[in-house]
Amino acid sequence: CGKLIIVVGNLFSIALIIPLIAVMIYSMFHYPNHTPLRVGIDFTGGTMLQYGFNKEIKDSDIDLLRENLTKINITNPIIQTEKKSAKITQGTEKTSPQETKKTVQQKNPNLKTVVSIRTKFLSSQGTNNETLKVNDVVKQTMGEYIPLQTSAIGPTLGKELFKNAMIALMLCFFGIVGYLTVRFNIDYAICALIALFHDAIFVCGAFSLLGLLFGTEIDSLFITAILTVIGFSVHDTIVVFDRIRENSKYLSKKKSFSEIVNVSVNQTLARSINTSFTIFMTLLALYFFGGSTTKDFVLAMILGIVIGT
């Protein structure tokens, strides 16, 4: 049973991974910034708008605002709300060529909620003034507001975030390899590393395909999802490795190493499936009921857990 699962699993993985790698290569030629995935404003920069309201803002208002922004071609906006109890001071300030803040001197002691919208770079001049269009949509959807801030965030922040994300991924990989080398040996560490790359590449390839088909963008939460998937993958891998090591102590004289692996996979199979199924059900609930802002994050987790298992 274990040998059959390994063979079928490998063939299934190859049938999925190779086309997804091809999709990522195609995306590198398709996108202007030559990235294998469609990146969001966390990496490319964009515009952030802040509005103050003298009333409580409901989740339903945010959902409606997101729908109305999509109608004027403001796709994948990141909308956040923050409750305020203190006075908000507004001023006009120019900080750098890449970041400009425009506000008007005013204090409002009754300000209760601040709504922040982060989206692509918006034009603020000419007949196609996208900033004014967004302001009109906010007013029509949520009522009168107090303009707090308009900031243009350049791509420098995105490059720094991308660099830090890559450093985090590399440190994670090296840490795992070092731990498994000490705990087991280098052969186990290399096998675990291949499994980690397998899971990470599948999730990245799937989101690359979603980006081409549906315009799905990745943000900093996507990096968090990849790191979490890697953590789950290592956890399952170590469980199997531990069982192989234990069985090797008692069965090495009776069975070959491949037979010991077969026995170990059979012994840990039910545990791995049950654990992953429990996590999958939790993630499924989060995907349907957790709100639109975390959907892509949860989807990456679901894909990683399923392919990892």
pLDDT tens, position by position, 112-157: 888 888 888 887 776 678 888 899 999 998 888 888 888 877 665 5
Percent above pLDDT 90 for the chain: 17
178 confidence band (pLDDT: 50, 70, 90): confident
Q: Tokens representing 9?
A: 């699993």
> Regarding predicted confidence, which is higher, 5 or 49?
49
**C-alpha–C-alpha distance, residues 114 and 120, integer Å:** 20
Residue 88 clears pLDDT 60, i.e. is over it = no
Report phi then psi at 78, rounded to 5. -100, 115
- pLDDT at position 1, please? 62
Q: Tokens representing 3?
A: 């040998």
Q: What is the mean pLDDT of residues 211-229?
A: 88
- Return mean pLDDT, the chain: 82
280 confidence band (pLDDT: 50, 70, 90): very high
130-142 and 59-71 helices, crossing angle to 10°: 140
> Regarding predicted confidence, which is higher, 261 or 41?
261
DSSP the chain: -HHHHHHHHHHHHHHHHHHHHHHHHHHHHHSTT--SS-B-HHHH-EEEEEEEESSPPPHHHHHHHHHHHHHTT--S-EEEEEE--S-EEE--EEEETTEEE----EEETT--EEEEEEES----SSS--HHHHHHHHHHHHH---EEEEEEEE-HHHHHHHHHHHHHHHHHHHHHHHHHHHHHS-HHHHHHHHHHHHHHHHHHHHHHHHHHHHH---B-HHHHHHHHHHHHHHHHHHHHHHHHHHHHHHHHTTTS-HHHHHHHHHHHHHHHHHHHHHHHHHHHHHHHHHS-GGGHHHHHHHHHHHHHH-
- pLDDT at position 99, please? 43
304 confidence band (pLDDT: 50, 70, 90): very high
Torsion, Cα 168 173 177 183, to 10 degrees, reads 60
**C-alpha–C-alpha distance, residues 309 and 300, integer Å:** 14
pLDDT in tens, 247-263: 988 888 888 888 898 88
Largest CA distance in the chain: 83
Burial of 55 by CB count in 10 Å (0-12 exposed, 13-18 middle, 19+ buried)?
A: middle
CB 49, CB 131: distance < 8 Å: yes
pTM (2 d.p.): 0.77
> Regarding predicted confidence, which is higher, 109 or 44?
44
- Amino acid at position 148, single letter: L
* Chain-centre distance for alpha carbon 304: 11
- pLDDT at position 92, please? 41
- pLDDT at position 87, please? 47
Q: What is the mean pLDDT of residues 168-174?
A: 83
Residue 60 clears pLDDT 70, i.e. is over it = yes
Residue 106 clears pLDDT 60, i.e. is over it = no
- pLDDT at position 33, please? 80
